[in-house]
Structure 1
């Protein structure tokens, strides 16, 4: 049934103050994204550090300065991305058996090993290996954190919490750029070893905090741990929550998860995600998450300092910090409107802005190559690009996690994240061929390619991306099962999901929704 305006099945109070505890838990879990932003910023800065180049580069006698071979540059940057690809593919099987929290703990352990190797080695081979396993860690941090947040956050606050997630990523980039700037003139290995030590901070904080946080109630429900799921959900909600309100949410999750279990019982989840109505959900999740790779952010983010140097911009490290700060401003700005503006609209505005910025600095470099005017234009439009990209990026991650059902979320999200990192790797690996003066030397003209890709993203969003603002995961599941067209999601009335929540609102029904006598278990692995 569809109507002009959606009637939501979310039984919770649609405010922030009633969910402070859950918001705090999600805030700590989003520390995972700090690592990703930190890596992009730190390693990009290493490419312009004499102390790093003396260890892993060569002295260019013609230019009378230290330089780095394009192949080494590619491998240092891209092996981390390959690691994230491999790690993300492992998220589904690991998560199905061990849950979300153990995934984050394992990511921390791998991070500690990789960072120790990078700090201690002077071997380029060992550095390559450390970059690869660090990528596995980063991939697990990002994917497990986002799956966890999608499953524990109240529907109406998922947008704000993902804005916090992106803020943590941008904060990591700022910290990385600032530390690089502080140490880049050090003549020896301390120029890059001191920044690398920052990799230990965020995982240590999160690993300790996770001992006090519950597992995802939706994951526990898929495992048949019904009492544990109820206890988990209760620990995520404030103590003074209305019991009828709590039981309504629990009932909605329980019934929907049980229906999903019956649908996939005895089947392999890797196969199920490509069949029936799940195929559409899988493809949409992959598509929207891969927007991050398809808009040109990978080459702009990791090569900002190097790119500004070759563009003739003076004091590139300071400008790199300014660029990152523009991203923080962008996500903060979007966090004020995400509860009031449809997610599709935010994505449309974001990809349009990114595409126009790529086009603008490409045109500027075409008209006046290597000039100070063009260099200033490059700085300006990279800043604006970063604003638009970071403003919409968290909601692309959010939508990608909302589309799959509870049983397939980790598998689908892992594959989507892996393919996004594969796209990032392609962008990072090929960028030096375009921007490095010893190769094609296109510099900012590389933006022409990414203007075209952003135009495709705009058209795809307009026709195929459904609107899910303020919808519970169970409502989204119902709409996909009903094969609702993308343009009708916003006004669709989820009668079945509303009935689940309403069943627990009846005064005599509150006790009836307890689940001691219900037994179901996933056996689809």
Structure 2
């Protein structure tokens, strides 16, 4: 099936996937909000400490605590989602999470001190953790192979869009001097949950989830809902369901269970490693310069208004980069983009470090410009491609739990980085500023070495073909060239498929 045929046949699936993924805007929005608030004069006066020069700074310890609060909540939400989504289905869990986040936002808006704000961030992190993995898994399960990369990487576009919106709102409110300068940005988060929750109420359940629970007739009905009859593209819902049952039965033969522990058995251990490290690389490659961009720009010597202007430009460039990744993935594949992106970012980080050694006034503008270049490279390679990889690599029976484990590794690494970053940039702590580029350049190079030896290419492969490749322990560098037959298991599984279909007649 070509890309054009898939778009004509699956416009409804594309729409539903986009709707659910839009929830990730909230997480991207808040993540950038906190990082940008540290450079916000009104926020610093409310939650910061008076410095010797008369300015206010949120201490490095509280910066780490607030930034990690949401990630701690996300870890809880991720593990909860891995259990309840497989039991109750994606729709119900998504709706419950959206309703919960509406209530939790109240705490952030009206928090009187840093302790209350930390509590609110932890609670908001729980539903955000659900959004992180559920939306990616849903996108991977409602669309055909040819659309997989586009709809899973759309999640990254939502993340960048949330960051762009928060930067724009903060810039617009910079002239306010009262407490609503930082309360309004928190309150705007109420915009998304309501309309998304209404849409999710009418959304179909994942057909793969229905097959895993023996609801074959419902799966066939959902497939018809996800497709358009007048597309002119040949489509047989019964044959598609039969393929899903076959893949599910094949995976049951390899791995009987669907628990978290099963993610670390047999070939699924390798798949879990790939997903976890691939997601951790998003943080280990130096994207802390983007997360703390406004604060970094300000500490590098730019005026506050220029710092926010540069952040808005940076996230706009990030959106362009994400959209360009949709074309680049079709031309080069996932593995090549990941390795190429890391190679360029390693060089950029080292250049940032060397520039920070200088004291010339032009150096600060060069630093800011390099962060913009880094943003484009990151958001056209590692940023969005990661979402495609972590959704494609796991087996279908363990996908939700495998994505949960991968994202939690990302969050744990993120907590460590969130502890280190404020000390790197804060003038009252280590005060490395741009010299942190040396540290992240080295980290980025180690990520590049791992990808060369361990990251496979899933482009164009069905889930059945990927099962066979991992079962045969094919080296990562040979995934793209190895020929496989996903139906080589004989009549045993075919009999189970026939029995499952017969039971529904």
The corresponding residue for 1:381 is 370
User: How much does 1:497 deviate?
Assistant: 4.2
Aligned-pair distance for 1:138?
Answer: 1.5
- 1:349 counterpart = 2:340: yes
Distance 1:113 1:234 in 2: 36
1:372 aligns with 2:361: yes
Aligned to 2:379: 390
- Give TM-score, length-normalised by structure 1: 0.89
Report what 1:522 is aligned to: none
Deviations 1:175-220 (CA, angstroms, capped at 9, x unpaired): 0000001112211110011111221122222211111211111111
In structure 1, the residue matched to 2:226 is: 236
Query: Which region of structure 1 is more displaced relative to structure 2, 21-30 or 436-445?
Result: 21-30
**Residues of 1 paired with 2:122 and 2:402: CA distance?**
23
Higher relative contact order (CA 8 A, sep 6+): 1
Structure 2 gap segments, 5+ residues each: none
Change (3 A) 1:499 1:16: farther
Matched, 1:148 2:138: yes
CA distance in 1, matches of 2:27, 2:188: 12
CA distance in 2, matches of 1:464, 1:449: 23
Q: 8 Å contact 2:325–2:384 — kept in the other structure?
A: no
Residues 168, 12 of structure 1: alpha-carbon distance in 2 compared, 3 angstrom cutoff: closer
Tell me what 2:30 maps to: 39
TM-score by length of 2: 0.93
> What is the CA deviation profile of residues 329-383 of structure 1, one whole-angstrom value per residue up to 9, with x for unaligned ones?
21122122222221111111221222222111111001x14x4222111111110
Question: Secondary structure of the residue that 1:467 maps to in structure 2?
Answer: coil
Count of residues in correspondence between the two structures:
498
Helix, strand or coil at the partner of 2:197: helix
Aligned pairs for 1:87-486 (under 5 A) are: 87-240=77-230, 244-265=235-256, 267=257, 269-297=259-287, 299-314=288-303, 315-366=306-357, 368-369=358-359, 371-392=360-381, 393-486=383-476
Contact 1:11 1:248 in 2 (8 A): no
**Residue matched to 1:85:** 75
Aligned match of 1:517: 503
Matched, 1:76 2:70: no
CA-to-partner distance for each residue in 1:7-36, whole Å, 9 max, x for gaps? xxx799754333222212211122022112
Segment drifting more, 163-172 vs 490-499 = 490-499
**What SS class does the counterpart of residue 339 from structure 1 fall into?**
helix
How well do the aligned residues superpose, as a CA RMSD in angstroms? 2.5
SS of the residue corresponding to residue 503 of structure 2 reads coil
| Aligned partners of 2:262 and 2:268 also within 8 Å | yes
Mark the runs of 5 or more structure 1 residues left unpaired by the alignment. Answer: 1-9, 505-510, 520-525
Instruction: Give the direction of change, closer, same or farther, for the CA distance of 1:124–1:169 in structure 2 (3 Å limit).
Output: same
1:490 aligns with 2:476: no
CA distance in 2, matches of 1:293, 1:310: 21
Give the Cα separation in 2 of the matches to 1:472 and 1:416: 21
Indicate how the Cα distance of structure 1 residues 518 and 291 shifts in structure 2: closer, same or farther if over 3 A, else same: farther
Larger deviation, residues 214-223 vs 160-169: 160-169
SS of 1:496's equivalent?
coil
